[in-house]
Amino acid sequence: MKLEVALAELKGVRVALAFPPPAWVAPGVGDVLLERLRPYFPTLPVMLVAVQKHGVRAHAAFQAQALVDGADLAHLPRTTIDLDVPPLPPDEPPPF
């Protein structure tokens, strides 16, 4: 499964954003997708977002909606990742 992702700083917090279909930006299916995304962004909080005509909807394991309110996410540079391909190992060792 391929998914568009972006890195952004929202209200001073650096986060990884994933842009799945809007129906997946919800508890349940969204939580499963967040777990699949975690290995690709081991040092960042990950959130799912759906940019819609009348605003942005977000889902994460934290208060995601508060971070995206007022943010212009539609014009972020995005890349595509394939969740069926394991992530590459990090270039640097962990800081601990």
| pLDDT tens series, the chain, 96 aa | 899 999 999 999 999 999 999 999 999 999 999 999 999 999 899 999 998 888 888 999 998 888 888 888 888 899 999 999 988 776 666 665
> What per-residue confidence (pLDDT) applies to 95?
61
> What per-residue confidence (pLDDT) applies to 74?
81
* Euclidean distance between CA atoms 82 and 73, whole angstroms: 21
CA within 13 Å, CB half, 89: 3
> What per-residue confidence (pLDDT) applies to 66?
87
